[in-house]
Amino acid sequence: MDRLTALPHAYKLARRDARSTRTVVQLPNGAGFGGDVVAICAGPCSVESREQIEATAQAVARRGANVLRGGAFKPRTSPYAFQGMGRDALKLLRDAADRFGMAVVTEVLDPRDVELVAKYADMLQIGARNMQNFSLLREVGEAGKPVLLKRGLSATIEEWLMAAEYLLVAGNNEIVLCERGVRSFDNATRNLLDIAAVPLLKSLSHLPVIVDPSHGTGVAKLVAPMALAAVAAGADGLLIEVHPDPPTAASDGPQSLTFEQFDALMGQVDTVARALGRRVPAAVAA
């Protein structure tokens, strides 16, 4: 650990001793990252229709999710795959979140879209593929909105903290780090979810850390055990993909939970969180 903080160009603003207290990132609906309540971000991989996003928002809010996720601009490996509904999806997300008392997190892919996405979202997501897109980091750093900074596909902890440093230097202090797995030699899972990154980052940095077991494993049945492991390891939140009918999802169906699976998981997450003096958010009446 000292090895990382001793590097000549080490992250100066992200490091743990740059602040007297840990950063708590607060969203307008009261959702918080870094306090006693574990933030629950849930929703589909992609926004597909008003019905889909509203049904999902209702189902997850009922079980305590306080941040609605959903891709509007999708970073797809193939240019022929579904690219997202764009601006229309932003409006649908906002409406659905407002109806159920949730905040909105969604990815911004292009520096030219930062203003547009910031108009609808409460938190801007920088995806794994863009963690080192330095012009995007600079632009998002100046957007005046909290940021969910995902770990790059093959990023080291130091590279990731340096990406956060770009946002901090630009004047944005409201950063949440999201572990979502890294490339490994083994394709038995989509990625290798680095749970040790959670306590490691918390010792190196004052920034809150959440875990995305959906992209981290790529396999729906592995999402619940990894979500529980993340909370046990001290994660400040979870990001979970949920879809009304995963087999028909436009993207990431194999890793998406059904509403029933999400319900069951939330009860378990609360049990683990309480064992550590934390809890999941109180459900809104929906």
Taking the least distance from each CB to ligand PEP, the nearer of 29 and 217 is: 217
Distance of CA 201 to the CA centre of its chain: 16
Binding segment toward ligand PEP, per CB under 6 A, in 27-35, 115-123, 125-133, 200-208: 125-133
Question: Do the beta carbons of residue 237 and residue 229 sit within 8 Å?
Answer: no
Percentages helix, strand, coil for the chain (3-state, rounded to 5) are 40, 15, 45
Q: What angle do CA 274, 25, 278 make, to 5 degrees?
A: 5
Query: What is the x/- site pattern for ligand PEP, positions 44-63, by CB under 6 A?
Result: -x------------------
Taking the least distance from each CB to ligand PEP, the nearer of 13 and 238 is: 238
Binding segment toward Mn ion, per CB under 5 A, in 45-53, 100-108, 170-178, 258-266: 45-53
- What beta strand segments (E) does 194-248 contain? 209-211, 237-241
Is residue 252 near Mn ion by the rule CB under 5 A? Answer: yes
Shortest separation between residue 40's beta carbon and Mn ion, angstroms = 17
The residue whose Cβ lies closest to Mn ion is 45
Site for ligand PEP in 214-233 (CB under 6 A): 215
Taking the least distance from each CB to ligand PEP, the nearer of 128 and 265 is: 128
Site for ligand PEP in 66-105 (CB under 6 A): 71, 75
Question: Do the beta carbons of residue 208 and residue 177 sit within 8 Å?
Answer: yes
3-state secondary structure 92-136: HHHHHHHHCCCEEEEECCCHHHHHHHHHHCCEEEECHHHCCCHHH
In the chain, what is the greatest distance between 2 CA atoms, to the nearest angstrom? 52
- Which of ligand PEP, Mn ion, none is residue 180 near (CB under 5 to 8 Å by kind)? ligand PEP
Helices 134-141, 157-169: inter-axial angle, 10-degree rounding: 40
Output phi, psi for 232, to 5 deg.
-60, -35
Residue 25, beta-bridge partner list = 33
Q: Show the tokens assigned to 66.
A: 């306080």
- Which of Mn ion, ligand PEP, none is residue 128 near (CB under 5 to 8 Å by kind)? ligand PEP
Nearest-angstrom CA–CA distance, 177 and 175: 7
Binding segment toward ligand PEP, per CB under 6 A, in 29-37, 123-131, 156-164, 258-266: 123-131
Taking the least distance from each CB to ligand PEP, the nearer of 76 and 279 is: 76
Shortest separation between residue 282's beta carbon and ligand PEP, angstroms = 25
Is residue 48 near Mn ion by the rule CB under 5 A? Answer: no
Site for ligand PEP in 178-217 (CB under 6 A): 180, 215
Q: Show the tokens assigned to 272.
A: 């683990």
Taking the least distance from each CB to Mn ion, the nearer of 90 and 168 is: 90
Shortest separation between residue 241's beta carbon and Mn ion, angstroms = 6
Nearest-angstrom CA–CA distance, 71 and 92: 11
Sole binder of Mn ion in the list 45, 67, 136, 176 (CB under 5 A): 45
Residues in touch with Mn ion (CB under 5 A)? 45, 252
Residues in touch with ligand PEP (CB under 6 A)? 45, 71, 75, 107, 127-129, 150, 180, 215
